[in-house]
Structure 1
Amino acid sequence: MNDIPVQDRRFTARRQAERLLSGGRPQTVRESLAELAALADGPYPLDEPTDRYGDGIVRTLERRTADLLGKPDAAWFPTGTMAQQAALKTWADTHGPVVAMHPLAHPEVHERRAHQVLSGLRSVPQATGPQQPTAAQLAALDEPFDVLMLELPLRDAGFLLPSWEELSALYDFAADRGLPVHLDGARLWESAPHLGRSLPEICARAGSVYVSCYKSLGGHSGALVAGEEEFVRRIKVWRHRYGGRLWQQWPAVLSALAGLDRELPRLPDYVAHAKVVAAALAGTPGARINPEPPHTHQFQLWLPYPAEQLIEAGHRQAEEQGVSLFGGWWEPGPQPGAAMTEVTVAADALEWSAEDVTEAMTAFLALL
């Protein structure tokens, strides 16, 4: 069994497990295709011609997303990396190429700094450490910038959000200086409960808002950027230049529409239950939850064991006990032998009580 590649073993173990705590059950291509075909009976415009270069069902998703975020229009992109670049490049055309973003921001950490290498943009670090920037920190920067980018939530800091008062102060800072604000809202959908405001209220003062179609909605792929009509018209020019004007995109778009119907209404329940799950996990000897309590339905769990050992225990628990608690483990911090996993509380986790989590964690630790 140990000779099987880790990803293949995890896929098989999680598919066979009777109960899952973090994330969803992985699917085969056949299962994904059947799920997509089942949408034929749903309330979607399937009797119109397939989309061509962004019309038809693509426009349906763009208009619906714009309405949900309180913006006049939106543009679909095949990837979030392309969406981010196009949005920042569009702002650079009118305001300048220097973007203030967190050192842990997605373009800096997970996009191979494409905004710098491909788009000729330059970033100014907003703050140090795993925290959201404050208006005071931005005011203290000794280097000017043209665009303010905020990642809500800040994934690599633990899916961390500011308070509504802190976010309002950041908007005030940008407005006072005439700076456009771009929201990296890949996971913005689940941020409303912590901020205590609706999505349109959260986005109202941002010039552009990027959201993902698969990170929380469960779509196959894709992203959207919402904003004023003129901004969206110009961002589509950069979408074309970056190679994002695809001939047909209806499978991904259809899955995103289904995600808006299925997952978006359930996210508040996921966020609320994440606090229950996190509190139960916090009772594990040596465990650390970040942030505590969670700001969204995702959070970090740290344990004082090597990642390899935790991965093996997780595989064994799924294979031998039919319980899969977590996905992957990493050792990203400076402390040797301490590993972290990202916990995602979704539909499967709603069946878990705090007592269930505690009991399963006891069995997990016994395998270490």
Structure 2
Amino acid sequence: MSDEANDASTAPDTDPQERRRAAFHSAKRVLARHSAQHRIGEQLAHLSAHAGSVYDLDAGADIYGDGVVAELERRTARLLGKEAAVFFPTGTMAQQIALRCWAARTGNNTVALHPRAHPELHERNAFHEVSGLRTVHPTGEPRLPNADEVRDFEEPFGTLMLELPLREAGFVLPSWEELTEVVEAARERDAVVHFDGARLWECTGHFERPLEEIAALADTVYVSFYKSLEGMSGAVLAGPATLVDEARTWRHRYGGTLFQQYPAALSALIGLEQALPRLPEYVAHAKVVAQALEEGFREAGTPWFRVHPEVPHTHQFQVWLPYDADALTEAAVRQAEESGVALFQRWFTAPEGPPGVAVTEVTVASQGLEWSAEDVREALAGFLGRIGWLLAAGC
């Protein structure tokens, strides 16, 4: 590392989050750039440049869910092969309402899901506190439950909720056969099936099935527009028309029927038009990136590392290293600041395993398609060099 790099420092009063944002925003080479990393002007310019290709901008703005919002609902329902769909400002709201509707219809407010599913980790116990739902866990393994675990679970549940892919376990998916078997096992127990499909869009390659066929396994499906599709915000719940109508009523009660939502709806339509067709490319190239990382770690003699899954199931996967999360994040930020290359971004203390292990999520999107395997290995060498310098400096 150069003397200039060694001397790189940040004023003590610099906000760490703002520093990270600035570093990754200014980086010239990234594997993916999330919409939240763009400046407001960039977001508005993108929306202005592309909205006219997906919707008639001479039409009136939406009011309480009509117009462009209703059009987004129609297009999404058609993509998923469902009778109807309803737009929500957040997936948290969409899923709570879906599951409370099913609880009323089945007469059972118990939801079977994975303990590392999004509602259990990131929603402040909202299922219970807001919607009166109770959760149980057919398995604690870092994968979705299998058919036997669902079939033999010791107490009744009204709904089986499956997160596809299971993000916290490494964006992992079952095989198509395993998925169909677990759905059948739930049906044998007279339970309905709901897919948390925030990232369902990129699952088609792994399952080798179109979206409509995957979604057909579930009674209801939730999908997000701001993750893989790079939209501003928003989600859709799709399923039977009668349940969707009921969900609209609950959306109003929850305060989710906003006066106007055309920016979010237009950005979602742009995502369906531009990002969705490219997701198979991203998934394929994520496999190239993951393999290059494996090779780079081995070439560098890294004493322990984990790329998980070794062959990614989607365009996202995890990397684990035996170092302090803050030190790894600092190395990533310095690499972006000093070289304009952002291989990794933020690291977190691993929720499983021994102390001192950190994990990060790697996403490969359009920007990552420009990276060759050699580019990945070169960037990794630069990152590991900064880790060595930080550790030697006692940082």
Structure 1 length-normalised TM: 0.97
Identify unmatched segments of 5+ residues in structure 2.
1-9, 388-395
Q: State the 1:129 CA deviation.
A: 2.2
Q: Is 1:252 paired with 2:264?
A: yes
Quote how far apart the aligned CAs of 1:40 are: 4.4
Q: What amino acid is the match of 1:5?
A: D
1:80 is the counterpart of 2:98: no
TM-score (norm 2): 0.91
- Hey, what does 2:162 align to over in structure 1? 150
For the pair 1:59 / 2:70, whether they are aligned, the reply is yes
Indicate which of 189, 194, 198 corresponds to 2:206: 194
* 1:141 and 2:153 matched: yes
Verify: 1:362 aligned to 2:381, yes or no: yes
1:335 aligns to 2:354 (yes or no): yes
Q: CA RMSD in A?
A: 1.2
| Preserved contact between residue 24 and residue 346 of structure 1 (Cα < 8 Å) | no
Percent of matched pairs sharing the same residue: 55
Residue 49 of structure 2 is aligned to residue 38 of structure 1: yes
Q: Distance in 1 between matches of 2:209 and 2:326?
A: 41
Query: Is 1:14 aligned to 2:32, yes or no?
Result: no
Tell whether the 8 Å contact from 2:54 to 2:266 is kept in structure 1 after alignment. Answer: no
Quote how far apart the aligned CAs of 1:22 are: 4.1
**What's the offset of the Cα at 1:205?**
2.4
Structure 2 partner of 1:310: 328
SS in 2 for 1:367: helix
Higher Cα Rg: structure 1 or 2?
A: 2
Number of residue pairs the alignment of both structures matches: 368
Q: 1-side partners of 2:383 and 2:344: how far apart?
A: 10
- SS of equivalent residue, structure 1 residue 75: strand
C-alpha deviation, 1:24, in angstroms:
4.1
**Which range moved further: 58-67 or 310-319?**
310-319
| Secondary structure, counterpart of 2:348 in structure 1 | coil
**Partner residue of 2:182 out of 161, 170, 175:** 170
**Are 1:71 and 2:89 an aligned pair?**
no
> What is the identity, as a one-letter code, of the residue corresponding to 2:92?
T
* Structure 1: 4+ residue segments shifted above 6 A: none
Rounded to whole Å, the distance in 2 between the matches of 1:86 and 1:141 is 25
Q: Aligned runs of 1:224-239 on 2, under 5 Å?
A: 224-239=236-251
Q: Specify whether residues 290 and 2 from structure 1 end up closer, same or farther in structure 2 by C-alpha distance, changes over 3 A only.
A: farther
Name which of structure 1's ranges 71-80 and 125-134 shifts more when overlaid on structure 2. Answer: 125-134
Q: Which amino acid in the other structure matches residue 330 of structure 2?
A: E
Q: 1:320/1:247 Cα in 2 relative to 1: closer, same or farther (>3 Å)?
A: same
Segments of structure 1 that go 5 or more residues without pairing to the other structure are none
Matched residue type, 2:116 = L
CA distance in 1, matches of 2:228, 2:353: 30
* C-alpha separation in 2, matches of 1:97 and 1:45: 43
In structure 1, how many angstroms separate the alpha carbons of the residues matched to 2:21 and 2:198? 25
Q: Aligned-pair distance for 1:18?
A: 1.5
Matched, 1:243 2:247: no
The answer to whether the 8 A contact 1:20-1:348 is kept is yes
Letter of the aligned partner of 2:18 in structure 1? D
SS of alignment partner, residue 155 of structure 2: coil
Distance 1:39 1:99 in 2: 40
Deviation at 1:17, TM superposition (A): 1.5
Shift of 1:197: 0.7
Q: Which residue of 1 aligns with 2:196?
A: 184
Q: Distance in 2 between matches of 1:207 and 1:2?
A: 54
